[in-house]
Structure 1
Amino acid sequence: MSATRPVIDSVVEHLQQAIPWVIVEAFPERPSEYQFIHPTGAILVGYGGSKFTDLEHLGSIAQQRDITLVLTIIGSNLHGDEGTLAILDETRLAIVGFRPTNCLPCHLLQERFLNEDVGAWQYELTVQTETQQVQVYQPETKPLFTRTRPRESGDPHEQDLKLKEAP
């Protein structure tokens, strides 16, 4: 299974437990309307996209899915024990090696400064994890086997059965 939302939800839950002094949420539907109101900081977990490897030739479609997650770290000040840099450090420590739902352990790709607005500092931490994308099969719609009609050699065939013609 490689559904995206369970991966995001498991990262949100893990980071909230690891860094309880900030608020951790999935990236908002309308980022322009997001209001940072927590007194210390926030971590927003967003989906950055996926890349897929070549097909694994197993008789069906199976590919590795490399999932990119973008963690936006927001803090009310830059330095100090609960500043944005401290939140960034704690986030890095908490996410490396964490296994989201149905995925391999997370590893880091990059981090960068985003913005400072009225004392709210923002950094971006880009993380990757891997999972498998596998073809979904529909069940075959063959008739169900319901019962047998045993007969002894030499007994006549039942009238409602069709005999297979010899080649």
Structure 2
Amino acid sequence: MTQPKTQTEQLLDAMQKRLQETFGQMLMVELFPEDPARYRLNHPRGAILLAYGKSTFGGSEAGDSMFQARNIVIRLTLVFRQLNGKDGVVSYLDEIRACLTGWFAPHCDQACRPVAEQYIGQAGGLWQYAQDFALRATQLQVMGPESGPLLTEPRFEEYP
């Protein structure tokens, strides 16, 4: 029996699907490689690589259980053969930002928004930039079964 995907895995899948729908004919869109040192760009133009960056958590929103805001950052690493021009990474930074800004991901109660972009470097003829996008979801306490006797026969009393 396969385990259902976690909230984070579902979020990454949804973002990958959104990017593939928009850029799949022009770029590779895939999860960040397990072994980045051995990654090889096989696309003639470039790739968008998605990775879970981090989460920060707010205080509990309820007194009797854990109910917290989960602020999530997803990092996109752009690996391109060209820096400038219509096929360059710089123009795709703007296009990717436009694609994701305002998009509502599953399990999130705030739209996706950009929080940072930066030049990573150039090596072996490949240009690399990072884009960070923030989303907000809710972290809930997992509730187990109650212990003790179950309420099987409720009795209601009327008040005058």
TM, length-normalised to structure 2: 0.84
Letter in 1 for 2:20: Q
CA distance in 2, matches of 1:124, 1:145: 55
Larger strand share, 1 or 2:
2
Which residue number corresponds to residue 120 of structure 2? 114
1:137 counterpart = 2:143: yes
Aligned residues of 1:12 and 1:24 also touching (Cα < 8 A): yes
Query: Equivalents in 2 of 1:66, 1:24: separation in Å?
Result: 24
Summarize the alignment of residues 7-156 of structure 1 with structure 2, pairs less than 5 Å apart.
7-20=11-24, 21-103=26-108, 104-142=110-148
What runs of 5+ residues in structure 1 fail to find an aligned partner?
A: 148-167
Q: Report the Cα distance in structure 1 between the residues aligned to 2:112 and 2:105, rounded to whole angstroms.
A: 8
Runs of 4+ in 1 over 4 A off after TM superposition: 141-147
**How big is each residue's C-alpha offset from its partner over 1:30-79, in whole Å with a ceiling of 9 and x where there is no partner?**
21221111101100011111000011124211100000111101111111
> 1:92, 1:13 → 2: CA distance?
15
Distance 1:61 1:35 in 2: 43
What residue identity is the alignment partner of 1:116? Q
Amino acid at match of 1:38: H
Percent identity over the alignment is: 35
Alignment match, 2:158 = none
Q: Tell me, in whole angstroms, the C-alpha distance in 1 between the residues paired with 2:150 and 2:62.
A: 31
Separation (CA, whole Å) in 2 of partners of 1:146 and 1:17: 51
C-alpha distance in 2 between matches for 1:143 and 1:119: 68
Q: Given that residues 68 and 129 in structure 1 are in contact (C-alpha distance below 8 angstroms), is that contact kept between their aligned partners in structure 2?
A: yes
Give me the whole-angstrom Cα distance separating, in 1, the residues matched to 2:131 and 2:50. Answer: 10
Matched length: 147
Structure-1 residue corresponding to 2:9: 5
- Which runs of 5 or more residues in structure 2 are unaligned? 1-5, 154-160
CA RMSD of aligned residues (A): 2.0
